[in-house]
Structure 1
């Protein structure tokens, strides 16, 4: 097994067996909580315009996301886990557009299997990948993509996932939590002059939420979508 950690959301990746894309603050934390609260599927779009166009064709879908961390005018949901857990998402389909996580995923589709995660579902995701990778006889290639180009939050989570897949468990969840909280990406959530960022989001992003599913990207549809795969 070969595991490589790659940072950034615009990478030119060679074909691999498994890609894991991480966005802790906040895209795939939002996705995880959305599935927990009943979301059916999440389509991933490259741009705000693409999101609106897809919503026009599917008015029952909900638009969710951000540009530079801020809510998008006309979207149904922002990129806040706190907003998600307060919303009625049972049976709903989301269309998600974000600066790092979604973009990083759409640039990481050159793999047999693509998973996305934040920290909340990182342990479950890593254990699942460890299990399926050891069932294969060949020497598989796994890329772990920390989608924020400079954020220690995603990088810490990537190192945590790698350690679990390798069965080394050399990175503790508590250390990752501290690195997320102390990352420059999290700083604005603790800044009282930035009320548009709620510090409760960081609390939700740094919890280990045991769940019986992973989030896998289905590339067979015209627009890639995240699906909940029960394990």
Structure 2
């Protein structure tokens, strides 16, 4: 098995069997919470103007996204998982635009399967990949993309996933959490003077959420790629 880790959100990746795109703080933690709160699907967009165009085409559509970490003007939500923890998105479609995770995902579509994850859903992600690697030969290629181009939180999860897939288990979850908390991206959530960054987000982003067994798979066959919730043991 050929597993490589890449860092950044504007990469030109080699073709692979599985691409795993990580954004811990906060895009794919937000997405995970949205699916737990019954979102139907999450459309990925790299352009905020396109988001407003998409909104006109769908009923029950919600815009969520950030620029420089701050909610985009005219959007319903920013990128804060804490802000949607008690929402109900039943039958609603979300459109998500973020700096790192969404762009990295949209640049990672050259694989048989594209999976998005943060830390909250990482165990399910690992189980899903292990299950599906059985259908590939021993030369299966997996790209793991840490979407933040410089901070360590996504890279920590990438190394954790790689270690688990290789059955090395050299890295434990607590070590990953400590690296996330020490990462550059986490510091603004620890700074009480930065009121626009909610510490509760960091708490959510650094805890696995057990109970519902699904992964967040990017539908790459659609004209506009979107994330959908796939049962852990489905194809």
TM range (shorter): over 0.9
Structure 1 runs of 4+ with >4 Å offset: none
**Matching residue of 1:204:** 204
**Residue by residue, what CA displacement relative to the aligned partner does 1:96-150 show, whole Å, maximum 9, x if unpaired?**
0000000000001011110000010112101210121133234111000000001
What SS does structure 1 have at the residue aligned with 2:67?
A: coil
1:177 matched to which residue of 2? 177
Task: Tell me how far apart the structure 1 counterparts of residues 68 and 79 of structure 2 sit (CA, whole Å).
Answer: 10
Aligned residues of 1:127 and 1:164 also touching (Cα < 8 A): no
Unpaired runs of at least 5, structure 1: none
Alignment of 1:1-231 (within 5 A): 1-210=1-210, 211-231=212-232
Alpha-carbon RMSD = 1.0
How many residue pairs match? The answer is 231
Aligned partners of 2:30 and 2:80 also within 8 Å: yes
The structural deviation recorded for 1:222 is 1.1
Determine if contact 1:16/1:110 at 8 Å carries over to the other structure.
yes
CA contact 1:123–1:164 (8 Å) conserved in 2: no
Measure, in 1, the Cα distance between the counterparts of 2:132 and 2:109.
19
Q: What is the TM-score with the length of structure 2 in the denominator?
A: 0.96
1:89 CA displacement: 1.1
Q: State the alpha-carbon separation in 1 of the partners of residues 223 and 113 from structure 2.
A: 17
Shift of 1:59: 4.2
| Alpha-carbon distance between aligned partners in 2 of 1:170 and 1:91, rounded to the nearest angstrom | 41
Question: Following the alignment from structure 2 to structure 1, what is the Cα–Cα distance between the partners of residues 59 and 25?
Answer: 28
Gaps of at least 5 residues in structure 2 are none
Cα distance between partner residues in 1 of 2:2 and 2:75: 40
State the alpha-carbon separation in 2 of the partners of residues 50 and 169 from structure 1: 42
Distance 2:165 2:28 in 1: 19
1:91, CA displacement in angstroms? 2.0
CA distance in 2, matches of 1:174, 1:4: 23
